C-alpha cells in the first residue's frame, strides 16, 4: 500500500514538474489570473462579470457563424500562445519572481494536474460502469442527455454558455471564501429538519 502511495506521489510530482516546464512562459499571467479568480480584492468579482458580459455582448452583436466563432477563438489562442511568453516578462518583470511566487505557481500546476486526474478518473469510471452495469449506464446516460437537451431547448445557447462560463470563473472565488460550503451547510440543515419533522409525523 505504501509503495503504491509513493508511486502515485512520485508520478504526481513528475507530472507537475512537466507542466511547470511547459507553462513557464505563462507564469506571471497565471499568478495574476489566480489572484483575480480567488478574489484577492473586493472589485475582482464584478470585474470578472463585467469582462465576461462584454465579451458575450460582443458575440451577440456580431452574431458570427459557428465556423467563424471557432476560427476566431482558435486564432486568439494561437496569438496568446505566441505573444504571452514574449510580452509577460516585459510587462510583469521576471526579475521580480520570488520564492513565494514560485511556490504558488507550483501549487497552481499541482492543482491543474489533480483536476486533470479527476477528470480522467471520472471518464474511466464511466467506462467501468458501462462494462459492469450496462443497463444502469444506458439509463443514466439517456436520462442525463435528455435533461441536458431539454435545458438547451428551453434556454438560448448563448445565454446558457454565458451562465456556465460566469459560474466557472466565479467558482474558485466562491470556494476560497467559503460561500459554497456555507450554502451547502444551510441546505443540509434544512433537509435534516424536514427529515426529522417527517419522522415525528410518522411516529
Residue ranges per domain, the chain?
Answer: 1-131
Q: Report the chain's mean pLDDT, rounded to a whole number.
A: 86
Query: Averaged over 101-122, what is the pLDDT?
Result: 90
63-68: average pLDDT: 89
pLDDT in tens, 135-150: 888 998 999 999 989 9
Share of the chain above pLDDT 90, in %: 28
pLDDT digits (tens, 9 = 90+) for 84-97: 888 887 877 656 67
Q: How confident is residue 202, by pLDDT bands cut at 50, 70 and 90?
A: low
For residue 48, pLDDT beyond 90: yes
In angstroms, the CA 194 to CA 89 distance is 57
Q: What is the pLDDT of residue 101?
A: 85
pLDDT band per the 50, 70, 90 thresholds, residue 2: low
Provide the pLDDT for residue 144. 92
pLDDT confidence band for 20 (50 / 70 / 90): confident
Query: So what's the pLDDT on residue 194?
Result: 82
Tell me how far CA of residue 75 lies from CA of 27, 28, 33, 36, 98, in angstroms: 21, 22, 21, 25, 33
Instruction: Name the residue with higher pLDDT: 20 or 8.
Output: 20
Amino acid at each position: 500500500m505504501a509503495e503504491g502511495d509513493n508511486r502515485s506521489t512520485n508520478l504526481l510530482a513528475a507530472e507537475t514538474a512537466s507542466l511547470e516546464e511547459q507553462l513557464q512562459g505563462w507564469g506571471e499571467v497565471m499568478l495574476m489570473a489566480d489572484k483575480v479568480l480567488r478574489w484577492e480584492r473586493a472589485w475582482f468579482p464584478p470585474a470578472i462579470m463585467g469582462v465576461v458580459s462584454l465579451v458575450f455582448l460582443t458575440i451577440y452583436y456580431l452574431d458570427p457563424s459557428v465556423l467563424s466563432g471557432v476560427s476566431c477563438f482558435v486564432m486568439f489562442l494561437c496569438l496568446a500562445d505566441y505573444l504571452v511568453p514574449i510580452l509577460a516578462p516585459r510587462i510583469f518583470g521576471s526579475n521580480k519572481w520570488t520564492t513565494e511566487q514560485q511556490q504558488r505557481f507550483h501549487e497552481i500546476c499541482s492543482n491543474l494536474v489533480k483536476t486533470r486526474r479527476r477528470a480522467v478518473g471520472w471518464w474511466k469510471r464511466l467506462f467501468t460502469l458501462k462494462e459492469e452495469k450496462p443497463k444502469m449506464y444506458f439509463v443514466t446516460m439517456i436520462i442525463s442527455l435528455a435533461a441536458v437537451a431539454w435545458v438547451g431547448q428551453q434556454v438560448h445557447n448563448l445565454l446558457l454558455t454565458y451562465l456556465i462560463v460566469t459560474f466557472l470563473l466565479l467558482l474558485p472565488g466562491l470556494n476560497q471564501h467559503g460561500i459554497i460550503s456555507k450554502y451547502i451547510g444551510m441546505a443540509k440543515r434544512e433537509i435534516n429538519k424536514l427529515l426529522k419533522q417527517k419522522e415525528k409525523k410518522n411516529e
